[in-house]
């Protein structure tokens, strides 16, 4: 009975570990353009021409992303606050964010600890 219980606990532990996102141990930098994911996904809107719209969308709470290295990165904040309002001022501009890259269920996620305009 003890062996059966131990085997069950090991299976549950393995399943719980499999659900955790793959985080890189070292802090990383990501340099790219801030976009609102809704407009970017629906009609590839980005750049200076879309900056005012993206800013308005981000201020309204639409999800934020960074387009870098040929990928769209969904962004979250390490302090669990909304990234949209913090990134709205940089909509359509290039920033460098420091944080952690996370890959979960095929999604590219970047958990930001700090962000600044790119030089």
Distance CA 95, CA 34 (A): 7
Arithmetic mean of pLDDT, 12-19: 46
Distance CA 34, CA 55 (A): 9
Between 1 and 87, whose confidence is greater? 87
**Ordered structural domains, the chain, with CATH:** 24-117 (2.40.50)
Tell which residue, 91, 99, 98, has the closest CA to residue 36. 91
Its pTM stands at 0.77
User: What is the percent of the chain with per-residue pLDDT over 90, rounded to a whole number?
Assistant: 72
- In this predicted structure, the answer to whether residue 26 has a pLDDT above a threshold of 70 is no
- Going from the C-alpha of 85 to that of each of 6, 18, 19, 103, 114, the distances in angstroms are 47, 32, 29, 23, 14
């Amino acid at each position: 009975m003890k062996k059966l219980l131990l085997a069950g606990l090991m299976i549950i532990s393995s399943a719980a570990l499999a659900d955790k996102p793959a985080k890189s141990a070292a802090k990383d930098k990501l340099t790219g353009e801030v976009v609102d994911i809704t407009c970017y996904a629906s009609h590839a809107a980005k750049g200076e021409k879309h900056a005012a719209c993206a800013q308005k969308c981000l201020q309204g709470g639409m999800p934020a992303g960074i387009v870098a290295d040929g990928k769209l990165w969904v962004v979250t904040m390490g302090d669990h606050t909304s990234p949209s309002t913090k990134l709205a001022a940089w909509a359509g501009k290039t920033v460098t964010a420091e944080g952690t890259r996370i890959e979960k269920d095929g999604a590219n996620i970047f958990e930001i600890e700090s962000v600044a305009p790119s030089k």
